[in-house]
Structure 1
């Protein structure tokens, strides 16, 4: 979304901002926090309007927490049900909350609350063994590679285009999405579309490949939280691999 289009979703009213942050805390919503030297996953622990401070979890790696403390600014992204929330803060400090170390920052002066769902989508390398397995209505099983995934849905990769025994809007129940180290998920998916495109294989030959697009018709709060964590962790892993590649 362009900055111009995002302006219609900005909140600057203090009470409105506090309401959004407290909902994130109440629902234990995961938050991806980015800064110039890294990123980590967190959640809001407390929103204190009197001190104008927001408390949030440290990351799971001590070195990442050190980098976050040194950062001049941090960006927060959360995707609660039906919306996307974005905001930033300046330097953070480390304090205690319920006798445990935590981060603290000023409550943001402005916040984007994007009610029109625009999910963060992470692309998946074809060499990764992440798959989606299920059964079409004609009882034929399928086992296809994940091409990309978000909280909104997923794309599947087909090496050799096939005739599909499914129509737009049809739901396939209880497919298994296997993301190996990030977990396995049993969900329903609704078919959106399929399209073919030419590509060059490793032999230099032009071949047709197919992409199947599905959306998640509904996710429970638990499914959404667990899937969001997997997506965040996958994006974080890819970011770290890209950074190491640039450093080599």
Structure 2
């Protein structure tokens, strides 16, 4: 269960929601200016692809975003009545829901438009500690399946409660609920591996803007020591600090 799912509507309203047409457009317009990547889930959250907000237009009350690289995926999106956008600009979890999309032409190219959402949920850094790991020289996750098969997968994101990895194909036996008993990875500049068991929580197919498909596997740490949690917190703080210095 995500941290958002554990909060009441009143708590979300008071602590995390950005509401109003102009504030929402201003926020999303900033993400469009920076070309921040978002995933859009549709078809009852059964499908998704990566996209980029292109413009938030207050006068038209709409958000323009990039199409998928797949014609078939674009057609399925147009049939969806509810779409969920999720991103992590600057390491901050941002999420909003819209109605159906429609085709438009933006700056001479095909794009999608949706009515601006009524609100955007934006979890502050101090409330949400999952962060995407560097793509260059990524962390490597190692684990073993029950039959002894070795897993070696690049890490996409990490928090003190779990880890997300990428896979070109889903290894046989990886389904939600499966426990991997022997797992480990190392943090850059840290001389000792972190050892733990992990439970598979979700397996999601994703699509890049170029139309390439891959899988995101989310795992929950089961028995990570408090000392190792501190090491992960320090690593997250280091990545946040470095990204802030580069911005």
Question: TM-score scaled by structure 1?
Answer: 0.56
TM-fit CA distance, 1:118: 4.2
SS at match of 1:150: strand
Consecutive unaligned residues in structure 1, runs of 5 or more: 123-129, 134-143, 165-169, 173-189, 200-208, 225-248
TM-fit CA distance, 1:146: 4.4
TM-fit CA distance, 1:92: 0.9
Instruction: Indicate the residue corresponding to 1:25 in structure 2.
Output: 32
RMSD: 4.3
SS at match of 1:51: coil
Instruction: Indicate the residue corresponding to 1:97 in structure 2.
Output: 106
Consecutive unaligned residues in structure 2, runs of 5 or more: 142-150, 166-179, 200-222
Residues of 2 paired with 1:192 and 1:11: CA distance?
A: 42
Out of 56, 76, 79, the position equivalent to 1:70 is 79
SS at match of 1:91: coil
8 Å Cα contact 2:101/2:113 also seen in 1: yes
Provide runs of 4+ in structure 1 moved above 6 Å.
155-158, 190-193, 209-213
Residues of 2 paired with 1:47 and 1:161: CA distance?
A: 43
Instruction: Indicate the residue corresponding to 2:12 in structure 1.
Output: 6
Instruction: Indicate the residue corresponding to 1:132 in structure 2.
Output: 140
1:145-160 alignment runs, 5 A limit: 145-146=152-153, 149-150=156-157, 159=182
Larger radius of gyration: 1
The alignment of Structure 1 onto Structure 2 pairs a total of residues equal to 174
Question: TM-score scaled by structure 2?
Answer: 0.56
Residues of 2 paired with 1:160 and 1:91: CA distance?
A: 42
Instruction: Indicate the residue corresponding to 2:122 in structure 1.
Output: 113
